[in-house]
Structure 1
């Protein structure tokens, strides 16, 4: 496993397309289940729930609260892991603050808090917890920008591109390279397993997306992604039908409940 607890790159859930008019706050709930597991993983079962809530606007910035709870079964032990993340990204993409607390069996395992600022030729990350430090990284983008770029390219009919990202995951001390594959746009079919959950946005177009995340700090020439995520991305910003591949095992996330809230007002001209 990647650690004593599972973590999830939050970039796929943060941000909505500016061109789609007022941003639509929403809360999405997913059931989690084991997809595949190799013998080396030692995992015999995974179940859990993930809750993601988005609020904000391009004027006020974007706030996300995110909780990722899993029960992980092995032949010797069963553990409950709980990742709780809150982020805020300025509407202009110049700063990104993050706080993540991770628990194993209700005991806190780690706490990470900091803020990243983009400017000039680089990105400066000021970490407050677990201990104060400052990290200088290459120029990159934050999650909202990353997803807006993805949606722009999907609507333009592009199918493959590569970019970089800082999302405050792991130890918040590195930038990830992402390779993105975008499938053909489609509409929700009546027999879609998640059709009931997405009935509020059934008229939306969506695109199947696959993103592989590579560690820039890894060995040169490394071609194996740190993790990979595939999902359906709706033009309203809702993400569903997830497959999260950690290498030795993968898990699915099925959308089971979706609440759409009052859209934020447009920024004054």
Structure 2
């Protein structure tokens, strides 16, 4: 699950498992809550403070598809004003990663600012050469983009690469960020597996997973539509990724400012039935 313009992630498809770690692909429903604070801000950003909370809930399986509900609330302070933004997103991705439905409502100071609703699908399904995006709101349109991955498949690929020992790779992603009109190139750096220290501030929230190892990961997102050949990412996020998909210790860098997300609560739900049950 990536954070979209101060509000969403694909990347953040953080999928935790039960006490016994699951292999990549056995994604288990969960709810993760993160407290947000300002990390750094340049003078150009005008930002003097950020506080907030992010709640991410994942449900489903490879058999029935994956549903994500996501809420990202921040209070952003500048020298002149303080404003509360609230992004609420629901997505559904089929188990084969061939289609992706999305609804995002963004509020500013409790007033609806924008609503984005649509569907993306890979076509043809047998050997995709395009991603076709059908937008219903704010206005009806159809956009044809390069064939790519959707968020859950992007996470599954990351877990597979980490487990196989790869440290760097590049791929692409469509997550309906901004106007849902672009595919992003992502570069992923995977660090050496490690374990949390005894005084780690997120240990309490991790509970039964506190002794499990993780990989430090950094993902940078680049705009494929950028015709200037700009090499700087539009956004990047670093985090700790567990074998079962849980993510924590987030740093979200928007260029002019960055914020941190500290895991404060993690609820692990019942494991879904297998496709044969």
Q: TM (normalized to structure 1)?
A: 0.94
Structure 1 stretch displaced more, 160-169 or 232-241: 232-241
- In 2: Cα distance, 1:202 partner to 1:173 partner: 39
| SS of 1:204 mapped into structure 2 | coil
What is the Cα-based RMSD across aligned positions, in Å?
1.6
Tell me what 2:74 maps to: 70
What is the CA-CA distance between 1:11 and the residue it aligns to?
2.8
1:38 aligns with 2:42: yes
**1:97 correspondence with 2:101:** yes
Instruction: String of CA shifts for 1:75-99, please: whole Å, max 9, x gaps.
Output: 0000000000000000000100011
Of 83, 108, 112 in structure 2, the residue corresponding to residue 108 of structure 1 is 112
The reply on whether 1:251 has 2:259 as its aligned counterpart is: yes
Distance 1:122 1:15, change over 3 A: farther
Q: Provide closer, same or farther for how the CA distance between residues 52 and 169 of structure 1 changes in structure 2, counting only shifts above 3 A.
A: same
What pairs up with 1:118-137 in 2 under 5 angstroms?
118-119=122-123, 120-137=128-145
TM-superposed CA distance for 1:238, in Å, is 1.1
Deviation at 1:9, TM superposition (A): 2.6
Aligned to 2:90: 86
Residues 24-66 of structure 1, C-alpha deviations (whole Å, 9 max, x = no match): 1110000000000000000000000000001000000000000
Higher deviation after alignment, 124-133 or 213-222: 213-222
Listed as ranges, the matches of 1:112-261 within 5 Å are 112-119=116-123, 120-261=128-269
**Deviant stretches of 4+, over 3 Å:** 14-22
**CA–CA distance in 2 between the matches of 1:41 and 1:9?**
21
Distance 2:14 2:26 in 1: 15
- The alpha-carbon deviation at position 222 of structure 1 amounts to 1.1
1:110-131 deviations in whole A, cap 9, x for unaligned? 0001110012311100000100
SS at match of 1:11: coil
When residues 80 and 150 of structure 1 are mapped into structure 2, their CA distance, relative to the original with a 3 A threshold, is: same
Q: Mean alpha-carbon deviation: is it higher for 215-224 or for 50-59?
A: 215-224
Residues in 2 aligned to 1:16 and 1:137: alpha-carbon distance in whole angstroms = 31
Question: Contact 1:67–1:82 (CA<8 Å) still a contact in 2?
Answer: yes
Q: 1:155 to 1:266 in 2, by over 3 A?
A: same
TM-score when normalising by structure 2: 0.92
Ranges in structure 1 where 5+ consecutive residues have no aligned partner: none
Measured in 2, the distance between the counterparts of 1:91 and 1:77 equals 44
Q: How many residues align?
A: 265
- Name structure 2 gaps, 5 residues minimum: none
The change in CA–CA distance for 1:45 and 1:114 in structure 2 (over 3 A counts) is: same
Give me the whole-angstrom Cα distance separating, in 2, the residues matched to 1:247 and 1:59: 39
Q: CA deviation at 1:16?
A: 7.1
Residue 7 of structure 1 is matched in structure 2 by 7
